């Protein structure tokens, strides 16, 4: 009887231990991904609260794509669709729920994909399961410290969030020999963001050529020597998968039949609208200092990278990945050489060609992958250092005992856990300027949202509005078309020129008709010139007529001269430059 009970106890104990081991195994595989996902999502929601700076444009265009009655007559929403796959993916959700809900779901899915790709990349490079959350925390600290050309990958939801997630995953697939999968994933990256995806493909091609051409001093296996079949499969799947993204992107950026329009559009786009991303003369000195430091750190970390101590955890070959990083830096340096000049952009030699090259964002991937590489290498070195603390903790006599291993496993990684917690706390807890995407003080932000809601409730659905330069999320809240918005610049050549002409029309009107104030007749002339029905101005706008709506920060005026119930006229003494002056970034 006692033997039977003892036998049952042993059996039950074995089952419990097996179940515990199984749960521990699942947690080890799933836990790092989930923690990485939570860190990315937490950073996104903290540093770029909904709606983030680009979400009204991306999600608003997706909603307009499926429902043209949303903001009818808006030139940006009616323009070409270079991010068609994004609109097809998230657009249907805009017909079922609010834009806030779509943005939240998009972030959950998008940063889930990025966490998956990041985790796969980190494991392919290091074979360390718990490295991804540590590395991503370090990366986010670098990310919030500064970028080179303003390229971000964690913020709101837009096409490039998916594109970078697929790119990370594709690199991991190359490193693990699944090249067909890599081609498929790079094709998806192009579908969601053609610029990011195409640069990733070029970097992958350069990395592959360098990896084959430059000897590494290691013996290659027959599978590696015959790997050309895998590369062909990768190229074939890439070509097929990328077509749905390439075709609309090429159609959107296709030039006009008029070469002069193409040159004008390129110059406007590069040196007026996106100069902070593509004109190296606009980059901050700190950006050069930061990335030079990261480059030096990358070289040093590569030089002193060593194999992990454990014999059952051999270090994978990471040459291809670092050739990929080197390729992105080569693109970045080429961009610097193309854009560097001593005088004005219009006067630089071969200006049309150099402008055309700069419009493809040559700094984009180098801006991201240098801190990515440094973060992963630093995390690897830290975990390796922690790994070597096992002997000091356990002691030579009982290193292989269960209790000693348990104690060592708890203690040896404490420094890495503390560093990861500190980095994640800094990244999520310390607010950056992007944590206030409106860039407005709290009172002004409340007034702005109240004004937008009044427009939504009190103006015709087809009304055309001109907002001030500070027009954060106007269409998101007001659901009305805008005549001109600095933020919402289309992609087609003729569309870009038309966008710039709308800007100039507003400027010309403001300087032509201002004679100390703007009268009802001046506003009527604005309506005849542009079709604008309502004009929004800051608190001290120079207008002789009463607004139809006002609060402590903003006023709304009818351009047909209609007078609102508010009889108080704004006190002013100059041109409302915030509404009609040079656009601010």
pLDDT, tens digit, for every residue of 430-480? Answer: 999 889 999 999 999 999 999 999 999 999 999 999 999 889 999 999 999
pLDDT at 412: 78
User: b/e per residue, 202-213, with b = 16+ CB within 10 A?
Assistant: ebbebbbebbee
Give pLDDT tens digits for 553-572.
999 999 986 544 443 433 33
pLDDT at 565: 40
Q: Which residues fall within 8 angstroms of residue 3, CB to CB, at 6 or more apart?
A: none
Phi, psi for 418 (deg, rounded to 5): -65, -45
pLDDT at 229: 77
* Mean predicted confidence (pLDDT) in 329-356: 95
Model confidence at 280, pLDDT cuts 50, 70, 90, reads very high
Helix (H, G, I), strand (E, B) or coil at 225: helix
CA distances from 450 to 154, 222, 370 (A): 29, 68, 43
Residue 300 vs residue 2, higher pLDDT: 300
Residue 261 vs residue 212, higher pLDDT: 261
Model confidence at 582, pLDDT cuts 50, 70, 90, reads very low
Phi, psi for 216 (deg, rounded to 5): -110, -10
Sign (positive or negative) of CA dihedral 465, 469, 470, 472: positive
Cβ-contact 114, 193 below 8 angstroms: no
* Mean predicted confidence (pLDDT) in 488-511: 94
Residue 131, exposed/middle/buried by CB under 10 A (0-12, 13-18, 19+)? buried
pLDDT at 255: 76
Return the structure tokens found at 542: 């120079």
Strands 554-558 and 464-466: what pairing?
A: unpaired
Instruction: Give the whole-angstrom CA distance, residue 243 versus residue 249.
Output: 10
Give pLDDT tens digits for 107-149.
999 999 999 999 999 999 999 989 999 999 999 999 999 999 9
Whether the pLDDT of residue 337 is over 60: the answer is: yes
Of 395-399, 410-414, 485-489, the one with minimum mean pLDDT is 395-399
Tokens 């801006």 — which residue?
367
CA neighbours closer than 13 Å in the CB half-sphere of residue 307: 9
Return the structure tokens found at 100: 């806030």
Percent of the chain with pLDDT over 70: 83
Whether the pLDDT of residue 307 is over 90: the answer is: no
Instruction: Give the whole-angstrom CA distance, residue 370 versus residue 111.
Output: 20
Q: Which residues fall within 8 angstroms of residue 400, CB to CB, at 6 or more apart?
A: none
Percent of the chain with pLDDT over 90: 70
pLDDT at 413: 80
Whether the pLDDT of residue 217 is over 70: the answer is: no
Instruction: Give the whole-angstrom CA distance, residue 210 versus residue 214.
Output: 6
CA distances from 448 to 200, 254, 433, 470 (A): 40, 37, 19, 9
* Strands ordered across the beta sheet of 549-550: 481-482, 464-466, 534-538, 554-558, 549-550
**Closest CA relative to residue 160, chosen from 210, 200, 124, 129:** 200
Beta bridge partners of 518: 543
Cβ-contact 366, 332 below 8 angstroms: yes
pTM, to two decimals:
0.89
Whether the pLDDT of residue 47 is over 80: the answer is: yes
CA distances from 511 to 502, 504, 506, 524, 527 (A): 15, 11, 9, 15, 16
Segments in 214-343 forming alpha helices (H): 222-225, 228-253, 259-268, 275-278, 285-303, 319-339
């Amino acid at each position: 009887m006692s033997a039977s009970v003892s036998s049952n106890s042993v059996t039950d104990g074995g089952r419990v231990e097996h179940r515990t081991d199984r749960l521990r195994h699942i947690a080890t595989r799933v836990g790092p991904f989930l923690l990485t996902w939570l860190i990315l999502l937490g950073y996104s929601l903290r540093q770029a609260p909904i709606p983030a700076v680009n979400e009204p444009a991306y999600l608003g265009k997706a909603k307009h794509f499926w429902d043209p009655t949303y903001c009818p007559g808006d030139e940006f929403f009616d323009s070409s669709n270079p991010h068609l796959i994004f609109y097809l993916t998230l657009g249907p959700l805009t017909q079922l729920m609010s834009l806030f809900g779509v943005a939240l779901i998009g972030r959950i899915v998008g940063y889930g994909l990025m966490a998956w790709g990041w985790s796969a990349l980190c494991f392919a490079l290091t074979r360390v399961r718990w490295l991804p959350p540590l590395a991503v925390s370090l990366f986010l600290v670098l990310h919030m410290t500064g970028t080179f050309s303003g390229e971000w990958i964690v913020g709101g939801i837009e096409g490039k969030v998916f594109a970078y997630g697929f790119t990370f995953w594709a690199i991991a697939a190359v490193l693990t020999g699944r090249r067909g999968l890599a081609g498929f994933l790079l094709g998806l990256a192009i579908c969601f963001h053609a610029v990011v995806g195409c640069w990733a493909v070029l970097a992958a091609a350069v990395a592959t050529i360098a990896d084959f051409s430059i000897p590494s001093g290691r013996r290659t296996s027959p599978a590696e020597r015959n790997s050309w079949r895998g590369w062909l499969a990768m190229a074939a799947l890439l070509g097929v998968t990328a077509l749905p993204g390439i075709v609309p992107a090429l159609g959107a950026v296709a030039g006009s039949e008029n070469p002069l329009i193409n040159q004008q559009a390129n110059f406007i786009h590069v040196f007026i609208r996106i100069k902070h991303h593509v004109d190296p003369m606009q980059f901050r000195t700190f950006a050069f200092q930061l990335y030079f430091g990261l480059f030096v750190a990358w070289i040093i970390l590569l030089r002193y990278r060593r194999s992990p101590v454990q014999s059952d955890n051999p270090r994978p070959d990471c040459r291809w990945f670092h050739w990929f990083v080197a390729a992105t830096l080569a693109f970045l340096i080429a961009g610097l050489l193309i854009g560097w000049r001593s005088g004005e952009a219009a006067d630089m030699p071969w200006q049309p060609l150099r402008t055309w090259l700069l419009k493809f964002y040559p700094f984009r991937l180098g801006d991201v992958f240098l801190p990515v590489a440094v973060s992963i290498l630093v995390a690897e070195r830290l975990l390796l250092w922690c790994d070597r603390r096992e002997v000091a903790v356990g002691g030579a006599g009982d290193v292989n005992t269960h209790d000693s291993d348990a104690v060592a496993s708890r203690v040896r990684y404490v420094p890495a856990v503390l560093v990861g917690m500190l980095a994640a706390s800094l990244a999520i807890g310390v607010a950056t300027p992007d944590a206030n995407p409106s860039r407005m003080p709290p009172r002004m932000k409340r007034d702005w949202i109240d004004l937008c809601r009044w427009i939504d409730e009190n103006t015709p659905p087809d009304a055309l509005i001109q907002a001030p330069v500070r027009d954060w999320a106007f269409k998101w809240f007001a659901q009305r078309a805008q005549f001109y918005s600095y933020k919402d610049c289309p992609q087609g050549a003729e569309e870009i020129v038309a966008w710039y002409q709308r800007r100039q029309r507003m400027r010309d009107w403001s300087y032509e008709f201002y004679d100390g104030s703007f009268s009802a007749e001046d506003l009527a002339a604005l309506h005849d010139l542009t079709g604008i029905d309502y004009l929004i101005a800051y608190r001290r706008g120079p207008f002789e007529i009463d607004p139809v709506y006002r609060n402590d920060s903003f006023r709304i005026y009818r351009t047909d001269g209609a007078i609102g119930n508010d009889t108080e006229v704004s006190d002013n003494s100059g041109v409302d430059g915030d509404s009609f002056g040079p656009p601010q970034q």
